[in-house]
A = this chain, B = another copy of it.
Amino acid sequence: MSASDRYGDPAAQLAVLNDVLRLQLAHRSVRKFGPRDVTDDELAALVAAAQSAPTSSNLQPWSVVAVRDPGRKARLAALAGDQAFVAQAPLLLVWVADLGRARRLAARAGTEVAAADYLETTIIAFVDTSLAAQNAVLAARSLGLGSVFVGAIRNRPAEVAEELALPPHAVAAFGLAVGEPDPADTAGIKPRLPQDAVLHRETYDASGADAHIPAYDQRLAAYHGRYGLPGDWSGRVLARLRGPESMAGRHRLRETLERLGLPSR
């Protein structure tokens, strides 16, 4: 795997490369899975990788629920935008932004953790959950497993919390469907924005960066076209962010977080 595939640009080359970078560059989301199970030993390795990620002040403000039961997977798939691959994956990991553990520590100690009420702490929980999950994604790939994030688990967070018996002060941040990639799957590596569009030196240069978007739009339109899909990158971003009606219920996340005990004030 090379940088030119990653960027969809033959001119994109890295002067520094190794096996870890090659594994990262080759990332693609896997939504079609073969029949083999993910073993408990593999699950333990994914979680150990996740726990090895950095965490703010060693707070470790996350948990993960490993779901294998077909009925539960199907119910979660229905809650998460009815995406078949969620039920089809042998293992669904639901990553939980979890301030409940610290709240329970405080309750047992008869003290307060009022900082957990603030948006900053909710953000820490989501950030640390994400750092952990990304380590699991790469660990999975190193074991020959594929995965895909399921952001739609946030479409109906209260129902997901109920299905997983989450305690107060905890919310499903995202799902991760994991399994053996179906060898018949032809999905490719989606090119990313040119590096010059996202990397700034010393200070942010909006016009310099954005000048690289039109070439990327052409590349993405060609990539989408190969899979029979319309649209360039800019058009898809604008459609996805048009307004609350494009958010599948997630425009209510703030009030739902409050209801689940993450007031995020």
Give the oligomeric copy count: 2
Tell me which residues across on chain B come within 8 A of A130, comparing CB atoms: 126-128, 130-131, 134
* Interface pair A21/B238, CB less than 8 Å apart: no
Given A102-B241, A113-B238, A119-B257, also A198-B51 (CB < 8 A): yes
Tell me which residues across on chain B come within 8 A of A100, comparing CB atoms: 206
* Residues 172-221 of A contacting B (Cβ, < 8 Å): 173-174, 190, 192-193, 195, 197-206, 209-210, 213
How many angstroms between the C-alpha atoms of A197 and B100 in the bound complex?
A: 12
* Interface pair A51/B6, CB less than 8 Å apart: yes
Residue A115 at the chain B interface, CB threshold 8 Å:
yes
Residue A154 at the chain B interface, CB threshold 8 Å:
yes
Given A15-B41, A115-B242, A154-B120, also A96-B204 (CB < 8 A): yes
Given A44-B14, A165-B204, also A233-B24 (CB < 8 A): no
User: Which partner residue on chain B sits nearest A1 by CB separation?
Assistant: B52
Residue A137 at the chain B interface, CB threshold 8 Å:
yes
* Interface pair A63/B200, CB less than 8 Å apart: yes
Residue A116 at the chain B interface, CB threshold 8 Å:
yes
How many angstroms between the C-alpha atoms of A261 and B186 in the bound complex?
A: 40
* Interface pair B114/A242, CB less than 8 Å apart: yes
Give 1 or 0 for each of A136-167: 1 = CB within 8 Å of chain B CB. 01110011000011010010000000011111
User: Which partner residue on chain B sits nearest A13 by CB separation?
Assistant: B44
Residue A230 at the chain B interface, CB threshold 8 Å:
no
Given A60-B198, A119-B257, A250-B118, also A53-B134 (CB < 8 A): yes
Given A124-B151, A199-B63, also A192-B51 (CB < 8 A): yes
Residue A85 at the chain B interface, CB threshold 8 Å:
no
Partner of A57, one of B133, B195, B240: B240
The 7 sampled A-B contact pairs (Cβ below 8 Å) are A17-B45, A26-B52, A27-B54, A63-B204, A109-B234, A114-B242, A166-B204
